Structure 1
Amino acid sequence: MSIYSKILVVANLNSDEQPALARAVQLAKKSVSKSHITFFLSIYDFSYDMTSMLSHDERDAMRKGVISQREEWMRSIAQPFIDDSFEFDVKVVWHNRPYAAIVEEVFGGSHDIVIKGTRKHDILESVIFTPTDWHLLRKCPVPVLLVKNSDWPKNANIVASVHVGSENPTHIDLNDCMVRQLDSLTDRLGATGYLVNAYPVTPANITIELPEFDPATYTDAVRGHHLTAMKALRQKHGYDEEHTIVEQGLPEDIIPEIASKLDVAMVILGTTGRTGLSAVFIGNTAENVIDKINCDVLALKPQGYISPLDPENN
């Protein structure tokens, strides 16, 4: 089955450079079936809605004029990317919450993935994630790919941060989903895939509370369990041992270390969304990892995830 055949690309209003669109075109051209790219923008100007001297119709006409101008600009900057190998359209909406407008379009257009550029700090070469990025990572029901820059390196590496060793069905399904996404992306982008897992360090206080406890034996047992679980996962999906990594430590430390060591172009993370104040990732792990890496990030939700912005639940 071909994934990512309906791609929603979020335009960057502040630049003619559109790394997200470049990445979307790369994926579309490698699709088994013909893909469809929607180049999307949400705009809003408070002053247009609060101009009391204008009638409702006049304000509506002004909004439509601004939307038309933005659509023309988007078609212009997209022109170098477009060819007959995929379908393409432009859509601009008037909405005061960009992330909500994006998620609404995901539902309305049945898109498979959202691709959005991230801001790159020119001095420190670090990625700055915007509030819209974080909202999408938490609330978007489909995979979200945050793109650092348009240039995809040759012989690139992609890492999937799997959570092996758990019997939780959500983690098991998410691991399989991440590996399937990894397979598709490495094929489409001409990259090499790695499966990476971090397992916990033995708590220091446990030897005080349980004097007979042997931390070395415990650590060996935990590592053995994770190695066995990783072996089962890699064999299930046809990966060799050289492309799997199991390290002791916190994921927010291990994943950035591996990403730096392998000079990865993308990290795939599994996330789980909840509602209300608990709308966070698994133990904030994904947020902490994202803050420490400087590459593309693909965030995946578990099967059955229900977005708090799903119109059928509002």
Structure 2
Amino acid sequence: MLMKQILVIADLPGSKPKALAKAKLIADAQNAKVTVLSFVYEQLKHLPDNLSASQQKAIQQSLVEQRQQWLERQIKDQDLNPEQVTCQVIWEKNIASWTEEFSRKHKHDLIVKTGRRSEGMFYTPTDWHLLRTSQVPVLLVSEKKWKKQHNVMVALDLGSKLQSKQALNQQLLSTGIDWVRHFGGELHCVYCLPMSPVLKDLMGLSGKQMASDAKAQYMPLIQKMAGDFPLSPENVHIKAGDPDKVIPSVAADINAGLVTIGTVGRKGLKGKLLGNTAENILSLLKTDIIALQP
């Protein structure tokens, strides 16, 4: 996965610049150009209603200029190469939609954002929107400190015969391999075998035996996708069970610092009310995450 054009959504003032720090790590490794965006909007919601349009415009401009100065200091503090970095402050409420359009127009290879947790375990609406709809890969940086040598885990969907899913598996695995080659750590793969509890009881199926049989079946395919990368069979984890339980559990067991996973965005009312399997998994992972769509 070549990442020559990286788009960063800067963390808010008062927060550690985790997204910017991760973007620098990637840019240094791949000699990539970085565009840093910072969004301003909500600060005007408490202003008096009787302000003139020109007064509101002046306040807006002042806030943008202050944020621009702050953003330039952040970039300087991170020691990013000035020749590789551009930055811009945007007056916009809908961060996700604006970012998607901008990234498509400028053909970015990766969007980097800190994955902000809202109430409980779940990410903010901006994060979910990007994961559901962005055609550009999204790297959500964990708010916890990221260590360079943490392992990489690739979540595969090996049971599907759809060409789009098979292509996505290849893209996910290639991304994981590239990450390990650039930043170190071990590469692991995980696949969850769907198994109905009813059929399991009715037919006396053994989850462990099913997983063992499936590993023998899929291991040649995984090694073919890995190409010349020496993927150890011990690092391929095939388990029977629900993905939203198995994947976070395996990620914790192998000390994963990054998980690459495919997402399928839902549109319309259903997408707003129901999270897909990937979203259930993401809400439980405490790692960096690269999400890709078919």
Aligned: 1:54 with 2:43: no
Aligned: 1:229 with 2:218: yes
Give how far 1:222 is off. Answer: 7.2
- Residues 80-134 of structure 1, C-alpha deviation per residue, up to 9 Å, x if partnerless? 223439600111111121212221221232211111112369xxxx865111111
Corresponding residue to 2:132 among 138, 142, 157: 138
**Matched-pair contact (CA < 8 Å) for 2:210–2:240:** no
Aligned residue for 1:240? 232
Aligned: 1:158 with 2:152: yes
Paired with 2:178 and 2:22, the residues of 1 have a C-alpha distance of: 14
**Matched-pair contact (CA < 8 Å) for 2:9–2:111:** yes
Give how far 1:290 is off. Answer: 1.1
Give how far 1:257 is off. Answer: 0.9
Deviates more, 1:283-292 or 1:163-172: 283-292
TM, length-normalised to structure 1? 0.82
**Tell me, what secondary structure is at the counterpart of 2:3?**
coil
Aligned residue for 1:178? 172
**Tell me, what secondary structure is at the counterpart of 2:158?**
coil
**Matched-pair contact (CA < 8 Å) for 1:161–1:196:** yes
Corresponding residue to 1:254 among 239, 246, 249: 246
Give how far 1:273 is off. Answer: 2.0
Instruction: Return 5+ residue gaps in structure 1 as ranges.
Output: 209-213, 303-314
Quick one: percent identity of the two aligned structures?
A: 25
Alignment of 1:1-314 (within 5 A): 3-31=2-30, 34-45=31-42, 46-47=44-45, 51-55=49-53, 57-84=54-81, 87-119=84-116, 128-149=122-143, 151-204=145-198, 214-216=203-205, 220=209, 224-225=213-214, 227-237=216-226, 238=229, 239-279=231-271, 284-302=276-294
**Matched-pair contact (CA < 8 Å) for 1:118–1:128:** no
For the structure 1 residues 10 and 204, does the alpha-carbon distance in structure 2 shift closer, same or farther, using more than 3 Å as the test? same
**Tell me, what secondary structure is at the counterpart of 2:112?**
strand
Paired with 1:243 and 1:221, the residues of 2 have a C-alpha distance of: 18
**Tell me, what secondary structure is at the counterpart of 1:196?**
strand
Deviates more, 1:144-153 or 1:96-105: 144-153
**Tell me, what secondary structure is at the counterpart of 2:264?**
coil
**Structure 2 counterpart of 1:216, which letter?**
L
**Structure 1 counterpart of 2:103, which letter?**
V
Paired with 2:261 and 2:209, the residues of 1 have a C-alpha distance of: 26
- Residues 252-310 of structure 1, C-alpha deviation per residue, up to 9 Å, x if partnerless? 11111111111111111101224223448x981111111112111111111xxxxxxxx
Q: How many correspondences in the alignment?
A: 289
**Tell me, what secondary structure is at the counterpart of 2:256?**
coil
For the structure 1 residues 15 and 128, does the alpha-carbon distance in structure 2 shift closer, same or farther, using more than 3 Å as the test? farther
**Structure 2 counterpart of 1:249, which letter?**
G
Give how far 1:235 is off. Answer: 3.1
Instruction: Return 5+ residue gaps in structure 2 as ranges.
Output: none
**Structure 1 counterpart of 2:189, which letter?**
L
TM, length-normalised to structure 2? 0.87
